[in-house]
Structure 1
Amino acid sequence: MGFYIKRYLAAFQEHRHWTFMALVPVILYLIVAALRVDSFAITQDFSYSGDVRLAAATRPVDTLTLEAVLADPDQLFLDTLALSQLQQRFELQQDARAIPTSQGLRRLVHDSMNLSSPSDSRLRLAYEGPHAHLGAIMVHFYSEQLLQRVEDGAARHQTPESRVTYRFALDGTPTTIGMASPWNAERLPRAILVFALSLLAVLLLIGILELSDPSFKSERQIARYLDLPVLGSIPDATQLARHLKET
């Protein structure tokens, strides 16, 4: 066994530059992953004017200003009742594997949904993440929630003495844009796995080539093959020439 280990180590020393070949699959994987669409931005715009109020979810008679909701969008996205209804909508989908759990849903909504105001008269509801289908469902659901809460807020805010005038409506249809990110931390474990498998393949290739080489590797092999004692051997001329050149 020790002879074969020394034989393999000698072959590895001779072909150690082949180990750089293990980087080729990793580089190809990272290039393909960087060019592949792995994230989606789904947006729905709204146009508005006047005093827009949203019904407060936890207080049956109070309202929220649009500025307050923009400052803290979780008042819209993480409402308990809304999350429960969103979970039920997800459960109606055919692909059960894509349905997040109730605990994961809150994290998913918090991390991927956003509410912003590009201008004084426009509002934008947006999803950004890797799941286009789930993102489209969430954008549609929260668009409905936003319209309903604005309508309820106007009814709460209106008094018999004064009529609240406002306008809040959808502005176009949802748009979906696919994006390819140059780097994503989730690719690191896969890149390490690809490198490990590639390196293992190179090491196995070196071993297979060494075992398939019929040349003699030691004086002991020669003695066994010829059934004669070996009196001496000529050293490797390449190493001898290198040594003479250095000296």
Structure 2
Amino acid sequence: MSFYIKCYLSAFREHRHWTLIALVPVMLYLLVAAVRVDNFLITQDFTYSGEIRIAMSHRPVDTLTLDALLTDPDRLFLDTFALSQLQQRLEFQPQIHELPTSQGLKRLAHGSMHLSSRPDSRLRLTYTGSHVHIGETMVDFYSQLLVQRVEAGAARHSDTAAAPPSFKPVGPLTTTGVASLWSAERLPRAILVFVLSLLAVVLLIGILDLSDPSFKSERQIARYLDLPVLGSMPDARQLARHLEKTQD
């Protein structure tokens, strides 16, 4: 066994520059990942006029101003009753194969959903993330929820002297694919690709060494010829390299 290990180590030292080949699959993976769409921007716009009030689910008579909601949109996204309804809606979506848990959905709503004001009295509801079907479901759900809460808020905070508020979506939701140059999620995959590539190169060196029919020791020569070996010449390549160094 030690003889074969020595032979392999000798072959590995001779072909160690081949290990650079292991970097090629990693570079190809990172290049393909950089140009592939792996992130999605899903938006829904609204127009509004008048004094917008949003009903609060946990208080039957309280309302929230639009400015207050824009300051803290999690009061809409992380509403316990809303998250429960959203979880049920996701369960009935056949395109979604991996459903997030209740805590995972809460983190997803907090990190991926955004509410911002736009010019010309517009409001934009946005999802940013890698799950297109989940994102479209979430934007559609929160759009309907926001309209319902505005209507309920107007009923709770009715003022006959003022003009009734207007709040409605503008067109369908839009989905845009985005290719990001780098993502931290790619690092574990890149490491795995590099390790597998390196193992493949190491295995290739071993196969080439085993398939080499040349003698690798005096002992092999003696066994093959059934004659004692009185001496051997050194490796000519090493001798040539040594001579070149001495001449320099």
TM-score range, shorter chain: over 0.9
Q: Percent identity?
A: 70
Per-residue CA distance 1:219-242 (angstroms, 9 max, x = gap) = 111111111111111112221222
Poorly superposed stretches of 4+, deviation over 3 Å: none
State whether structure 2 residue 79 is matched by structure 1 residue 97. no
- Contact 1:22–1:199 (Cα < 8 Å) also in 2: yes
Instruction: Show the 5 A alignment for 1:170-189.
Output: 170-189=169-188
**2:215: which partner in 1?**
216
Letter in 2 for 1:119: P
* TM-score normalized by the length of structure 2: 0.94
Secondary structure, aligned partner of 2:85: helix
Amino acid at match of 1:38: D
Q: Give the distance between the partners of 2:22 and 2:62, measured in 1 at CA.
A: 64
- Specify every segment of 5 or more residues in structure 1 that has no aligned partner in the other structure, as ranges: none
Distance, in Å, in 2 between the alignment partners of 1:112 and 1:192 is: 27
The residue type equivalent to 1:182 in the other structure is: L
The answer to whether structure 1 residue 236 and structure 2 residue 235 are counterparts is yes
Q: Which one-letter code corresponds to 1:240 in the other structure?
A: L
Rounded to whole Å, the distance in 1 between the matches of 2:111 and 2:97 is 20
Q: Name the aligned partner's letter for residue 234 of structure 2.
A: P
Are 1:67 and 2:67 counterparts?
A: yes
Task: Supply the distance in 1 between the matched residues of 2:151 and 2:223 (Cα, whole angstroms).
Answer: 96
What residue in structure 1 maps to residue 36 of structure 2?
36
Give the drift of 1:96.
6.2
CA-to-aligned-CA distance 1:99-136 (integer Å, 9 cap, x gap): 22222111111111110012250100011111111111
Listed as ranges, the gaps of 5+ residues in structure 2 are: none
Contact residue 45 and residue 171 of structure 2 kept, 8 A: yes
Q: Which AA in structure 2 matches 1:34?
A: A
> Is the contact made by 1:154 and 1:164 (CA closer than 8 Å) also made in structure 2?
no
Q: What SS does structure 1 have at the residue aligned with 2:97?
A: helix
Quick check: 1:158–1:164 contact (8 Å CA) kept in 2? no
> Corresponding residue for 2:158?
158
- Greater shift, 190-199 or 234-243, is seen at 234-243
Give distance in 2, aligned partners of 1:120 and 1:149: 22
Quote the residue 1:77 is aligned against: 77
The CA RMSD measured in Å over matched residues stands at 1.4
8 A contact 1:44–1:124 mirrored in 2: yes
Distance in 1 between residues matched to 2:214 and 2:99, nearest whole Å: 61
Give 2:114's aligned residue. 114
Q: Tell me the number of residue pairs that the alignment of Structure 1 and Structure 2 aligns.
A: 246
Distance in 1 between the 2:216 and 2:98 partners?
58
Contact 2:70 2:115 in 1 (8 A): yes
Matches within 5 A, 1:5-24: 5-24=5-24
